Structure 1
Amino acid sequence: MDSVFRALADPTRRALLDALFSDDGQTLAALTARHDMTRIAVAKHLRLLEEAGLVVSRRRGREKLHFLNVVPIRLIHDRWVSKYTEGWAAGLVDLKSELEDTMEEVFEIYIRTSPERLWEAITDPAIRARYHFGAGVESDWAPGSAYALKHPGSESPLVEGENLEVDPPRRLVQSMRAVWGETASAAGTSRVTWEIEPVGDSCRLTVIHDQLSPDAPDELYGGWPMILSGLKTWLETGEELTTPGSQMYGDH
């Protein structure tokens, strides 16, 4: 958290985060054009934001795009804000961007655990329910197989889809159809990619939720920071987070 607070202490870096909040997935050139600074100076600030985990960069063809990662802010909320006020959660994760005719949301978090244990936490229904708003995931995890996310004892799934790519304990790609409500169902099928990379005694987990329609409701992707924060807490402490109501499942 110290690196996050240091990164946020600089007004220029806060301005860059604001720019990505307004229009996520920008190139270095686009961000430089918004500020009265050299390209080198902007690149230096972006590097510090990436080191703090507040910005994630991804290559798309010849371009390097920069995305706002709200997970560290979510962790600050869970550690420092939620015990004083419960009303900030919705505002911290109300994030939207438009890339061509679809949206892409990128979330990144570091967890002190092994790739194997992290993979188990993602795919084991009992563990998943500990941090995914009480919903476990059911599948045989074969490539091309179906999966469903549902509450224990319920026959009706909240999410269903197909395991497009299964490469334990490194990468899981799934189609996602939200069926918990009319608004979510109307958004159609999107895609969720889980990428696990060992870093020392920890893992960097990146979740990419893409192929979202430009008018996809926030409830479709707004809960990821809470889910990943809960996953980190569970794996590192064995405790469950008590978070405000689900932003992915509406009233369910």
Structure 2
Amino acid sequence: MDAVFKALADPTRRRLLDELFRDDGQTLGALEARFAMTRFAVMKHLKQLEAAGLVVTRRRGREKLHFLNPVPIRLVHDRWVSKYAEPWAAGLGDLKSRLENPMEKVFEIYIRTTPERLWEAITDPEIRSKYNFGARVVSDWTEGSRFEMGAPGAAGPLGEGKNLEVDPPHRLVQSMVALWSDDVRNEGATRITWEIEQVADSCRLTVTHDELRDGAHEELYGGWPMILSGLKTWLETGELLTTPGSLMYGDQ
């Protein structure tokens, strides 16, 4: 948390995050052009944002793209805002509403657990329901198989799709059609990639949600920060998040 607060304390770094809010997946050159400072100075600020987990980079050919990672901000919200001033926190909705023009969204989080336990938490329906808004994802988890998302508290199916790659406990790639509302149902199929990498006594989990149409409805991908925060909380403490919406489809 300290690294996140330190990174956010600098106005230039906040402006860099604003630029990624506005247009995610930018190169260093594109970001540099928006600031009256040297390339080295912009690079230094980006490195600090990366170190805090607020920015994630991805290589695409020769280009290095920078993506906003809102998960640490969600963790700050869950730890410091929700239990003190939840009504005021509604103002943070602007943060999510600005995540537009996505095409590709990258979310990264570190969890103190093993790859095997993390894989189980992603694929076991009962465990999944503890942090995925109360929804269960059912599949035999073989490559090419189908999966379905649903919940006893939901009016109908919440989603369905196909497992494109299954490499436990390291990588899972899925094609998904969201069904929980008319807005997301009309978006069609998108792709979700889960990547697990062991780092010392923890795991780095990277979730990439791509094949989104330009201007896709924010509801389709905006829940990832809360889902991943809930996953981290449950694996590390055994407790459930109780922030609004965290158990939207929980048993009634």
TM range (shorter): over 0.9
Q: Which runs of 4+ in 1 moved over 4 A?
A: 246-249
Cα deviation 1:24-79 (Å, max 9, x = unaligned): 11000011110011111111111111010000000111100000100000000000
2:182 matched to which residue of 1? 182
Match of 2:97 among 87, 94, 97: 94
Cα deviation 1:185-220 (Å, max 9, x = unaligned): 110000000011111111111110000111321111
Q: CA deviation at 1:12?
A: 1.1
- TM-score normalized with structure 1 length: 0.93
Whole-angstrom distance in 2 between the partners of 1:167 and 1:248: 30
- The letter of the residue matching 1:200 is A
Q: Give identity over the alignment, percent.
A: 70
1:201 matched to which residue of 2? 201
2:77 matched to which residue of 1? 77
- TM-score normalized with structure 2 length: 0.93
Q: 8 Å contact 1:74–1:92 — kept in the other structure?
A: no
Unaligned runs of 5+ in 2: none
1:50 matched to which residue of 2? 50
Q: CA deviation at 1:178?
A: 0.6
Matched, 1:5 2:8: no
Q: CA deviation at 1:157?
A: 2.0
Specify the SS of the correspondent of 1:131: coil
Whole-angstrom distance in 1 between the partners of 2:170 and 2:106: 17
- The letter of the residue matching 1:238 is G
- The letter of the residue matching 1:151 is A
1:111 matched to which residue of 2? 111
Q: 8 Å contact 2:175–2:189 — kept in the other structure?
A: yes
1:1-252 to 2 correspondences below 5 Å: 1-86=1-86, 87-88=90-91, 90-98=93-101, 103-152=103-152, 156-245=156-245
- Seen in structure 2, the aligned counterparts of structure 1 residues 153 and 79 have a Cα distance that, compared at 3 Å, is closer
Q: 8 Å contact 1:184–1:220 — kept in the other structure?
A: yes
Q: 8 Å contact 1:223–1:248 — kept in the other structure?
A: no
Q: CA RMSD in A?
A: 1.8
Q: 8 Å contact 2:134–2:248 — kept in the other structure?
A: no
Q: Kindly indicate whether structure 1 or structure 2 has the higher relative contact order, using CA contacts under 8 Å at least 6 residues apart.
A: 2
